[in-house]
């Protein structure tokens, strides 16, 4: 089988679970199989929003982010269930444990997708045989369907897995790029959202092929360093390795300031917190990141220092959202003594292109008006289709999954659990 693998190169699989939340519900309750099923927040409310839906529902016109009333109009027999994040967590952990039975080089990138480097797995079969076996056994053992992309790098593997859904397997080689990828519009390329696509169209780049032949200086001027990266991707170049330890990479950006004098004056303190929030917001935006956890540091006049953090329902980047999270912490943890120093830190940062937002009745319609979050939502829908809601749920260790009163980080907790499981098996 070794001759089925490249002499100097890699074989990467991108495993993408199909309509994950709906599929997990069907695996749990076999009577749901083959029926139009939707997962939605606030199912009792007319203005509830569809989070994800089965392929049977999609064929009838039901889509992610669609209001419940519209979905029911299109599909009167639509079965609607509330999300069960504990159930999805268990299914995801089982899925990744299964993938690691083939190779330890597995990189989870969300609750329902990950990369596998199978370059050294030639004794277990050819790449296509391995992909077929993984797909078949995931369905047999966990009752979960998936699509798999096979390619020499992560970008091409991701593009390949999106080409046949559900239950598809696609091979995409570098030599296939000109006739398979280049005819596609730039908006269909992984990593390009609607805003970037519009910018590219403004300079005459309509297709991935146009981008591949673009001017690197012009692209860098238009999009910064991301322009160079996208040019390489369009040509099928991606040198990133599959990194099993990436789930442990928790980043943070923060600012603190020592006050001119120790104070308990709230108006002064709040102004300082607003300035710190604005500074942190600017810095994370420059890095094209969002935060899922805000930390507040308070140092009192006696030099006693406390730090308190709050995990968030949804990734944020705006100054007012960071300030609101910090203010919540302040009101719950300040002991009313004089303060010497205040610090605000954005923790557990995620790249905008990888940020997932929980769609719910109360936040979706409001946030959709905010351009940065709308950009993320558009990229999400283009990148992952209807199965869009994954990252952004969070919880403190002592809180129950799905407890939205305090706010939870389903994805970060899941990755933390996954990392702990991986380390315990080493």
389 phi/psi in degrees, rounded to 5: -100, 105
Task: Quote the tokens at residue 104.
Answer: 């330890």
29 assigned binding-site residue? no
Task: Quote the tokens at residue 326.
Answer: 């910090």
Contact 314, 303 (CB under 8 A): no
7 phi/psi in degrees, rounded to 5: -70, -45
Give the residue numbers annotated as catalytic, written as ranges.
113
Question: What is the 3 state secondary structure string of the chain?
Answer: CHHHCCCCCCCEEEEEECCHHHHHHHHHCHHHCCCCEEEEECCCCCCCEEEEECHHHHCCCCCCCCEHHHHHHHCCCCEEECCCHHHHHHHHHHHHHHHCCCCCCEEEEECCEEEEECCCCHHHCCHHHHHHHHHHHHHHHHCCCEEEEEECCHHHHHHHHCCCCCCCEEECCHHHHHHHCCCCEHHHCCCCCHHHHHHHHHCCCCEHHHHHCCCHHHHHHHHCHHHHHHHHHHCCCCCCCCCHHHHHCCCEEEEEEEEEEEECCHHHHHHHHHHHHHHHHHHHHHCCEEEEEEEEEEEECCCCEEEEEEEEEEEECCHHHHHHHHHHHHHHHCCCCCEEEEEEEEEEEEEHHHCCCCCCHHHHHHHCCCHHHHHHHHHHHHHHCCCCCCCCCCCCCCCCCCCCCCCCCHHHHHHHHHHHHHHHHC
397 assigned binding-site residue? no
Could you give the CA distance from residue 178 to residue 170 in angstroms, rounded to a whole number? 16
Could you give the CA distance from residue 343 to residue 269 in angstroms, rounded to a whole number? 11
Q: Binding site residues, as ranges? A: 16, 112
Q: Binding site residues for Mg(2+), as ranges? A: 16, 112
């Amino acid at each position: 089988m070794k001759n089925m693998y490249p002499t100097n190169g890699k074989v990467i699989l991108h495993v993408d679970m199909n309509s994950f939340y709906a599929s997990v519900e069907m695996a749990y309750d076999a009577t749901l199989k083959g029926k139009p099923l939707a997962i939605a927040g606030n199912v009792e409310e007319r203005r509830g929003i569809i989070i994800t839906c089965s392929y049977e529902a999609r064929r009838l016109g039901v889509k992610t982010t669609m209001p419940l009333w519209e979905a029911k109009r299109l599909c009167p027999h639509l079965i609607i269930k509330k999300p069960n994040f504990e159930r999805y967590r268990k299914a995801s952990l089982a899925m990744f444990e299964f993938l690691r039975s083939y190779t330890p080089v597995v990189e989870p990138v969300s609750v329902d997708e990950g990369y596998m480097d199978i370059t050294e797995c030639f004794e277990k079969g050819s790449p296509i045989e391995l992909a077929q076996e993984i797909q078949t056994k995931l369905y047999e053992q966990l009752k979960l369907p998936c699509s798999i992309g096979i390619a020499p790098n992560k970008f091409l593997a991701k593009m390949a897995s999106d080409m046949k859904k559900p239950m598809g397997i696609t091979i995409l080689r570098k030599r296939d790029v000109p006739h398979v990828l280049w005819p596609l519009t730039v908006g269909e390329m992984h990593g390009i959202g609607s805003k970037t696509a519009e910018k590219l169209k403004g300079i005459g780049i309509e297709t991935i092929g146009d981008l591949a032949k673009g001017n690197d200086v012009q692209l860098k001027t238009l999009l910064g360093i991301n322009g160079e990266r996208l040019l390489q991707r369009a040509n099928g170049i991606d040198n990133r390795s599959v990194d099993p330890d990436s789930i442990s990479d928790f980043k943070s950006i923060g600012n603190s300031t020592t006050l001119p004098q120790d104070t308990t004056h709230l108006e002064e303190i709040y102004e300082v917190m607003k300035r710190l929030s604005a500074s942190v917001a600017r810095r994370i935006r420059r890095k094209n990141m969002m935060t899922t956890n805000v930390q507040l540091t308070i140092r009192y006049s006696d030099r006693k220092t406390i730090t308190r953090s709050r995990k968030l329902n949804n990734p944020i980047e705006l100054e007012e959202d960071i300030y609101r999270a910090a203010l919540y912490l302040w009101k719950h943890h300040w002991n009313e003594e004089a303060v010497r120093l205040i610090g605000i830190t954005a923790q557990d940062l995620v790249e905008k292109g990888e940020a997932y937002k929980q769609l719910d009745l109360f936040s979706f319609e409001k946030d959709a008006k905010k351009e940065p979050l709308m950009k993320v939502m558009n990229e999400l829908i283009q990148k992952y289709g209807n199965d869009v809601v994954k990252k952004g749920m969070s919880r403190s260790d002592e809180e129950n999954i799905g407890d939205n009163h305090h706010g939870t980080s389903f994805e970060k907790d899941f990755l933390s659990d996954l990392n702990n499981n991986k380390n315990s098996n080493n």
